[in-house]
Structure 1
Amino acid sequence: MLRIHFTADDFARVRFAPRPAPLQELHAALATAVAPHRDPLFGRWRGRVLRALPAAADPLADLVPAGRAPYFLDVLGDTLADAFDLVRATGPEFVREELVRVYGTGPGSLPAPHWIRGLYAGEEASWQTVRRAQRAAYETVLAPVWPVIQDLHREEFARHALITAEHGLAAALTALAPGSRLDGGVWEWPAAVPPREVHLSGRGLVLLPTFHHPSGPLLQDLPARPVVLTYPAGPALPPVPDDQDDPLAAVLGRTRANLLRLLTGPLTTTELARALRVSNATASAHAGALRAAGLVATARTGRSVSHERTALASLVVDGRPAAVGSGGGTRSAGPEPVDTTPCGKR
């Protein structure tokens, strides 16, 4: 469990990041792409990202040996250029401390590549290697969807502001993580591995949503700085490019195109709604429209309504038909069975 301890001053210093942070979002995306055992719905996205990353981005893997990243990469610049400048402005002593932390010392230490040793020594050529690698990864992973991320961030900002205005800060905080609670000045998150105690001690807290990291939170806790909590803004697939970059979305609309891509196997209406960040009724309406077009097959099992692609939909999405017996379009394309699954039940 993650437990964040507030003082009275800290409650007055909670703020929501007004804009997404490019490098933080990039790090969340790359962590999701390389992490094992992720939700299978991320498989297609992960494969596409890993195949598309250019060789110029390879040095980023050197900065995260054994999954440990140096903290000097965690910055909140509003633009990529601002973020680069903040990283480069890191004090040389802190850079060296962090490189020692992630690579270790003694018999169990990891061998550091030549350019990492240059970074330790403060060589400008090594800093340029970092900048080129981050730029290459950003252009591949985030640039195509950055306008979408900006829109999603504005929506999350507005949602948080409304909850705070109507119900107070405690309600807004606990709404960020289902199952979390604020008790006696301690904000408890239900799951965090390993368990962690964080004392704000008057530094305040910055809340930053991420749209590429389905599990969390990610925490930046550095001396003499506000603590930054990067939290997953809903369990969903990473954003896809705007419709003009997606021929299927240009025809069907982005939500319906995403719905079809999600249906790599049977999913309930509730599962689709959660993944698409829409209500059950909206997900059901989109599934109904696709069913009427012969692209989705729907069936009921007990109280659960599930949806699958038809063979036609698999041809449209993947360029190949679905296996026989898997969403092959043999079910009725008539009215959908009424979904009585409670909104919060999987």
Structure 2
Amino acid sequence: MRALRIHFTGEDFARVRFAPRAAPLQELHAALTTAVAPRTGPLFAPWRGRVLRSLPAAAGPLADLVPVGRPPSFLDVLGDTLADGFGLIRATGPGLVRSELERVYGAVPAPRWIRGLHAGDETAWRTVRHAQLAAYETVLAPVWSVVQDLHREEFTRYALAVAEHGVAAALIGLAPGSRLHGGVWEWPGAAPARDVRLDGRGLVLLPTFHHPSGPLLQDAPGRPAVLTYPAGPGLPPAAGGAAVPAEALAAVLGRTRLEALCLLAEPHTTTSLARALRVSNATASSHAAALRSAGMARTTRTGRSVTHERTALGTLVAGGGGPR
């Protein structure tokens, strides 16, 4: 049976982390992988047709980078912005660029500009950047705010699952049908079948909302492995089609707890938080404790006074929202 098997050490479990923000180039590559897949399922088929019809000629060089369906590893980066992503790709060592292009093309003759990329030609690198930008503007720019909202919701869901059930259960929850035993996380049916040993490098989890049929794994030597896994509602994101972020978060946290998270942009005592939420002190304390256990709030005590305040994680989850 085909399967992806990720081998953890104890150190790796301590180094599992969730990408705090969506990565535009990684999401773009997931979307393009889905767009050119021969079978994508009925839900993605209309989206796939629209994408392939609308891609501009300027994006064409990206197809040259994937002649047999598996792109060079140096394209998979986690930059928070397009500029960050482009910078990380361009910073790839020339040895890795050459070896990956040789792996991708093998004995197949490469286009002239790919040969220039292999030689480190700056014009060829500009071709990559212009092609990615053209594809992003067509495929992702219209729905990028939706992707960011969905990522924040998935981030929150994972943080709460870890706080309540632990890392192992949270990992299994990301992939229905997967299992974790003997330090090995196994995804049945994943293609290609492979065994990946983390050996202390750790693992970064990144949800994608454009690739519905299995994990994409980036396994660069000397770096944490990056697992891009399918998430979201099962449909490609559509501009204007997502729920209001607050509604999505309320479905995960509960409306009162979300309101507490927003209020804690400023320090509150248990009493002042209860007054603002219009609940009892005990209920307010319970909400603060739940947020604290998920790493989204901190509590400090000075004498008999207890003060609650949002953490950086809480601010990220709330999207910067303050008291309302």
RMSD value over aligned CA atoms? 1.5
Q: Give distance in 2, aligned partners of 1:123 and 1:180.
A: 43
Aligned pair 1:117/2:124, yes or no? Answer: no
1:247-326 equivalences in 2 (<5 Å)? none
| 1:48 partner amino acid | R
Residues 178 and 186, structure 2, Cα contact 8 Å, conserved in 1: yes
Secondary structure of 2:227's match? strand
Query: What is residue 172 of structure 2 aligned with on the other side?
Result: 174
Query: What is residue 20 of structure 1 aligned with on the other side?
Result: 22
Q: Give distance in 2, aligned partners of 1:69 and 1:49.
A: 19
Aligned length: 243
Deviation for aligned residue 1:27 = 0.3
Q: Deviations over 1:287-322 (max 9, x none)?
A: xxxxxxxxxxxxxxxxxxxxxxxxxxxxxxxxxxxx
Q: Give distance in 2, aligned partners of 1:177 and 1:159.
A: 13
Secondary structure of 1:24's match? helix
| 2:144 partner amino acid | W
Query: What is residue 80 of structure 1 aligned with on the other side?
Result: 82
Q: Give distance in 2, aligned partners of 1:94 and 1:24.
A: 19
Query: What is residue 37 of structure 2 aligned with on the other side?
Result: 35
Q: TM-score, normalised by structure 2?
A: 0.73
Can you give the 5+ residue segments of structure 1 that lack an aligned partner in the other structure? 244-253, 256-277, 280-346
Q: Give distance in 2, aligned partners of 1:71 and 1:194.
A: 15
Q: Deviations over 1:172-224 (max 9, x none)?
A: 00000111111121111122123211110000000000000001100011110
Q: Give distance in 1, aligned partners of 2:192 and 2:55.
A: 30
Please, which of 49, 52, 60 is the counterpart of residue 50 of structure 1? Answer: 52
Residues 103 and 111, structure 1, Cα contact 8 Å, conserved in 2: yes
TM-aligned CA distance change 1:189 to 1:235, over 3 Å: farther
Q: Deviations over 1:100-121 (max 9, x none)?
A: 00000xxxx2121110011011
Query: What is residue 275 of structure 2 aligned with on the other side?
Result: none
Query: What is residue 207 of structure 1 aligned with on the other side?
Result: 205
| 1:94 partner amino acid | L
Residues 29 and 212, structure 1, Cα contact 8 Å, conserved in 2: yes
Residues 56 and 133, structure 1, Cα contact 8 Å, conserved in 2: yes
Query: What is residue 288 of structure 2 aligned with on the other side?
Result: none
Q: Give distance in 2, aligned partners of 1:160 and 1:68.
A: 29
Residues 214 and 236, structure 1, Cα contact 8 Å, conserved in 2: yes
Query: What is residue 274 of structure 1 aligned with on the other side?
Result: none
| 1:91 partner amino acid | G
Identity of matched residues, %: 75
Q: Give distance in 2, aligned partners of 1:238 and 1:67.
A: 21
Query: What is residue 241 of structure 1 aligned with on the other side?
Result: 239
Q: Give distance in 2, aligned partners of 1:87 and 1:142.
A: 19
Please, which of 134, 137, 149 is the counterpart of residue 135 of structure 2? Answer: 137
**Which structure would you say has the larger RCO, counting Cα contacts within 8 Å and 6 or more residues apart?**
2
Q: Give distance in 2, aligned partners of 1:206 and 1:194.
A: 20
Q: Give distance in 1, aligned partners of 2:148 and 2:234.
A: 16
Query: What is residue 152 of structure 2 aligned with on the other side?
Result: 154
Secondary structure of 1:223's match? coil
Q: Give distance in 2, aligned partners of 1:7 and 1:111.
A: 42
| 1:111 partner amino acid | P
1:62-81 equivalences in 2 (<5 Å)? 62-81=64-83
Can you give the 5+ residue segments of structure 2 that lack an aligned partner in the other structure? 244-250, 253-324
Residues 150 and 232, structure 2, Cα contact 8 Å, conserved in 1: no
Aligned pair 1:103/2:105, yes or no? Answer: yes
